[in-house]
Amino acid sequence: MTTERIAIESRRKIVVGLIALLAALALFAATAQEANATKGGTCGKYGDNLTWELRDGVLTISGEGEMADYEFNSSSWSYNQPWWEEDFTKVVVNEGVTSLGNSAFQWHKQLEEAVLPESLKSIGASAFDACGGYTQPNGPWGSLTVNLPSGLEHIGESAFAYSGIKQIAIPKGVKNLERAFDRSNIETVDLGEVENIGGYTFYYCDGLKQVNLPKTLKAIGSEAFAGTSLTEVIIPEGVTRIGEQYGGESMSAFNQCSELKKVVLPSTLTFISDREFGGCENLQEICYRGTEAQWKQLTAGIDPTSPLGEILKDSKIKVVYDYDTNIHINGDPDTPAIQANPMTVTGKTVKVKRKKLKKKAQTISADRAFTVNNAQGMVTYQKVSVGSKKVNKKYGKKIKINSSTGKITVKKGLKKGTYKVKVNVSAAGNANYYPLTRTTVVKIKIK
């Protein structure tokens, strides 16, 4: 073979190789494009009043009104959610959506975050059940972050059961909870102005070590706090029932709380389960705000062989009458029971580059926006306004804040300038400290 022919053959092989490489790259690009392709459809209660779109691991719900309800299909062992077979780690529900349907995202264990709109009024039963839950049988937990909007009015039964949610603030419009966090990973909760903590609400949430029960509370249902890690419980005046009676069987609210040492009961009680505090092996003190005569009347029908009956006979457990939590802690007259919350809050100045904002929304973490010190109880955030009334009307919707994390999102389209964002920062308080809200201003400079 001549030198010229060898050169031609070499060039041919190079060209063939390049063609093969380009074909492979094209196939890879097509595969990647298919993987990242937008999927979607309708999900409204009335058909196309709501739509869904999935792209790059983010499920977005848009439209006006209510979402359809979904349910488990035992024959196919699956849910009839339109996104049941899809993988996503984040859900964004846009303004205009007013409800999330039953089982909306149930069993999507890979879900890590849900961003909900102020327009949302209702979260359906089991909507986030098992989301961010166990990554494998018996652990470890995943994680789930959800911001509940201030206008929310309803949280359905088992809405966050078995989920990986660690902290949450219940909006003031929600008055009733039922199984809402059953066997979840919840550790911190602000109960807002809840009136009824129904059955199994925090059932076996062993990460829950402290809870501040609101003054609005009227009743605590069966197994509501069973199996939690609470060490002290102060039940406010106004509560009339602890536990429930089903036919001839009495069900308790605080059984199997092995870490519980002290409980304060209100004088307003008219019913307490005779199985109350069963399995609370470390209980040392029951403090009753009423008189001894009231206590005897309340417990007159208690079966002496029942768990509560046995507790009342136990000489190691102290019962204190006429207890006043507004004056004493642990019976010490020199120590005020509830003190002012020492939280301090300072807003910062944060710079955002206009060049980046033109391409996509920018986020500002809470530690960049605020300095919060000495907060007692769960901290939550609420945007009040952006600048003057005129500025707020024009640009207010362009700046949002996550109520749970304090993360600020600046949307595309905001012009250069300084925006003064007024924010309420609240600490829920606890058994020893009052709740507190402080208002601060975060300056966002767009350059």
Per-residue pLDDT for 39 more than 70? yes
Contact between 347 and 368 (Cβ < 8 Å): no
308 Cβ neighbours under 8 A, 6+ residues apart:
252, 272, 273, 274, 275, 276, 277, 278, 299, 302
Q: Of all residues in the chain, what percent carry a pLDDT higher than 70? A: 87
Question: What is the pLDDT at residue 81?
Answer: 96
Question: What is the pLDDT at residue 391?
Answer: 86
Per-residue pLDDT for 422 more than 50? yes
254 Cβ neighbours under 8 A, 6+ residues apart:
224, 225, 226, 230, 233, 242, 260, 263, 276, 277, 280
Per-residue pLDDT for 206 more than 80? yes
The pairing of beta strand 176-177 with beta strand 188-190: unpaired
Per-residue pLDDT for 159 more than 70? yes
Average pLDDT, the chain: 87
Q: How large is the average pLDDT for residues 99-128?
A: 96
Per-residue pLDDT for 328 more than 50? no
Q: How large is the average pLDDT for residues 356-368?
A: 91
Question: What is the pLDDT at residue 77?
Answer: 84
Contact between 111 and 160 (Cβ < 8 Å): no
Q: How large is the average pLDDT for residues 421-437?
A: 82
Question: What is the pLDDT at residue 323?
Answer: 86
pTM over 0.85: no
Please tell me the number of Cα atoms within 13 Å of 37 on its side-chain side.
9
Question: What is the pLDDT at residue 429?
Answer: 81
Identify which of 39-53, 127-141, 410-424 has the greatest average pLDDT.
Answer: 39-53
Question: What is the pLDDT at residue 38?
Answer: 83
Question: What is the pLDDT at residue 116?
Answer: 95
pLDDT band at 108 (very low <50, low <70, confident <90, very high): very high
Q: How large is the average pLDDT for residues 14-20?
A: 56
Provide the b/e sequence for 391-403 (b: ≥16 CB within 10 Å). ebeebbebbbbbb
Q: How large is the average pLDDT for residues 95-124?
A: 96
Q: Reduced to 3 DSSP states, what percent helix, strand and coil does the chain have, rounded to the nearest 5? A: 15, 30, 55
Question: What is the pLDDT at residue 409?
Answer: 94
- Lowest mean pLDDT, pick from 117-126, 192-201, 415-424: 415-424
CA end-to-end span of the chain: 69
Per-residue pLDDT for 140 more than 90? no
**Structure token pair of residue 100:** 């999330």
Q: How large is the average pLDDT for residues 186-211?
A: 95
